[in-house]
């Protein structure tokens, strides 16, 4: 690979994995490849090498390594979507466009639970990908992907959809998301974050993982992989763009599947069919949170929920996913069975309880971290009413302090309290390379909150 000016010169390799394809089919795949390539990008980063990477690598003392993945252009003004695991805890990240240009990116936000990240480059003349509808996909559909297994070139693979709404709990060591698209298509390491296209050239998902066993060690099938449905991706990305994080929805209730005997007691079985066969699918409310909107709107224990906004409630996990992605303050209409009668109730979703504000994430280059304002409780947080939560960190910052994302909050810099992003901006504005500052954190050790101080040498 050669870097000339700001252009990265590399060969674009087209790999067509088509079995028994006719000449016309092959020509169509080439057309789709050329059509989709301008909205596809390569993402390169440096990451800190952990013990697992060092064990697998032939260089046992390596400290940092190059990590690449793919992404797709969401908007013409520079917003790009990829996997969170491609960009999380990375530094010196760049986006390589299809024409060879290499540009640094800024992390806008990431959702580790569903492995989605939004980054941005400084460009306003990009070709955005066409977005499809993953709710309409079906097993057997022909799909294709463009990734970067060689780090410096694009590669095309194709196959079919094997299944939809497959549980992805064991597809990635990142905290699990609920449903994926299962693919009969190779997902190489460099394909992570790349778009999954349908035969119309529309993005219907993001490639996220190969199929691993429950210990994330052994490949179940190298010729298959998983993708996050694009409808889920877009919902998450809207939150990342606005707040730097996704704010999930909740309803203030807990619910459960029910046994055959319980079904009979509630009159939900059909005596003319097999014993215990449900007349309808759904979930049973097991508790309603006091003073919640659901309680105010009349939901009760042992209500059997069968539909939400005219969609059949397929399972407990399905409803959890639905409410999570709905976000807060959304009107939802339920059909339910109570005392063997069909009722309709309408309520509003709430936000999942946490102590984040809606302030966006901001990256501070001098510190090498992305931070977000968080509200604290002075009684529980050593007298502090607010601070800056660690969202992501460069390798240098991690090497210096060894802190864990999501468990660490900055509350002071050089003995000055920091409660919002502007406080940090003012305090570090005049810092020079090599200067040492003292940072006070609140973090967790063995599940217990502790405050502590640590110096950090500025590395610009």
Quick: pLDDT tens for 373-391.
888 888 888 889 889 988 7
Please say whether the beta carbons of 419 and 383 come within 8 A. no
What's the rounded Cα separation, in Å, for the pair 327 and 346? 16
pLDDT of res. 279: 54
Is domain 1-243 in CATH 3.30.1280.10, yes or no?
A: no
Above 90 in pLDDT, residue 151? no
CATH number of 249-351: 2.30.42.10
pLDDT digits (tens, 9 = 90+) for 43-81: 988 765 443 333 333 334 444 546 678 999 999 999 999
Q: Is the domain covering 362-457 a CATH 3.30.70.141 domain?
A: no
The closest of 79, 96, 71 to 192, measured between CA atoms, is 71
Hey, where are the domains in the chain?
A: 1-243, 249-351, 362-457
Please give the pLDDT value at position 130.
96
228 neighbors 115 (Cβ within 8 angstroms):
yes
- Cα angle 244, 459, 121; round to 5: 40
Burial class (CB in 10 A: 0-12, 13-18, 19+), 257: middle
1-243 and 249-351, same CATH topology: no
Per-residue confidence at 11, pLDDT binned at 50, 70, 90? very low
pLDDT in tens, 278-319: 456 888 898 898 888 999 999 999 899 999 999 999 888 788
């Amino acid at each position: 690979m050669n870097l000339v000016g700001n252009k990265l010169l590399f060969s674009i390799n087209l790999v067509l994995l088509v079995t028994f394809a006719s000449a016309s089919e092959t020509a169509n795949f080439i057309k789709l490849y050329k059509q989709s390539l301008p909205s596809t990008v390569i993402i390169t980063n440096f990451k800190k090498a952990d013990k697992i990477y060092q064990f697998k690598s032939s260089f046992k003392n390596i400290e940092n390594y190059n990590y690449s993945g793919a992404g797709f252009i969401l908007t013409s003004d520079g917003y790009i979507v990829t996997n969170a695991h491609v960009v999380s805890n990375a530094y010196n990240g760049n986006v390589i466009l299809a024409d060879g240009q290499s540009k640094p990116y800024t992390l806008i936000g990431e959702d580790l639970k569903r492995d989605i990240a939004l980054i941005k480059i400084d460009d306003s003349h990009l070709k955005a990908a066409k977005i499809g509808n993953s709710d309409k996909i079906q097993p057997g559909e022909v799909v294709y992907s463009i990734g970067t297994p060689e780090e410096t070139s694009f590669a095309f693979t194709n196959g079919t959809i094997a299944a939809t709404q497959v549980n992805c709990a064991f597809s990635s060591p990142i905290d699990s998301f609920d449903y994926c698209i299962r693919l009969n298509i190779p997902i190489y390491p460099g394909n992570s974050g790349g778009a999954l296209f349908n035969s119309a050239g529309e993005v219907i998902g993001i490639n996220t993982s190969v199929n691993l066993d429950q210990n994330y060690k052994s490949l179940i099938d190298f010729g298959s992989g998983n993708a996050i449905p694009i409808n889920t991706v877009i919902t998450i990305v809207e939150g990342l763009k606005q707040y730097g994080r996704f704010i999930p929805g909740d309803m203030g209730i807990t619910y459960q599947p029910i046994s055959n005997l319980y079904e009979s007691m509630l009159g939900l079985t059909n005596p003319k069919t097999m014993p215990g066969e449900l007349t309808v699918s759904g979930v049973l409310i097991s508790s309603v949170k006091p003073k919640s909107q659901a309680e105010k709107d009349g939901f009760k224990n042992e209500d059997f929920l069968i539909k939400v906004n005219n969609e059949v409630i397929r399972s407990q996990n399905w409803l959890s996913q639905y409410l999570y992605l709905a976000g807060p303050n959304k009107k939802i209409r339920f059909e339910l069975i109570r005392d063997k009668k069909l009722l309709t109730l309408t309520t509003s979703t709430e936000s999942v309880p946490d102590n984040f504000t809606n302030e966006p994430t901001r990256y501070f280059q001098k510190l090498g971290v992305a931070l977000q304002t968080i509200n604290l409780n002075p009684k529980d947080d050593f007298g502090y009413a607010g601070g800056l939560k660690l969202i992501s960190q460069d390798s240098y910052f991690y090497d210096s302090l060894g802190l864990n994302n999501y468990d660490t909050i900055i509350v002071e810099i050089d003995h000055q309290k920091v409660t919002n992003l502007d406080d940090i901006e003012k305090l570090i504005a005049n810092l020079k390379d090599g200067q040492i500052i003292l940072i006070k954190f609140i973090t967790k050790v063995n599940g217990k909150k502790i405050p502590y101080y640590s110096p950090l040498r500025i590395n610009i």
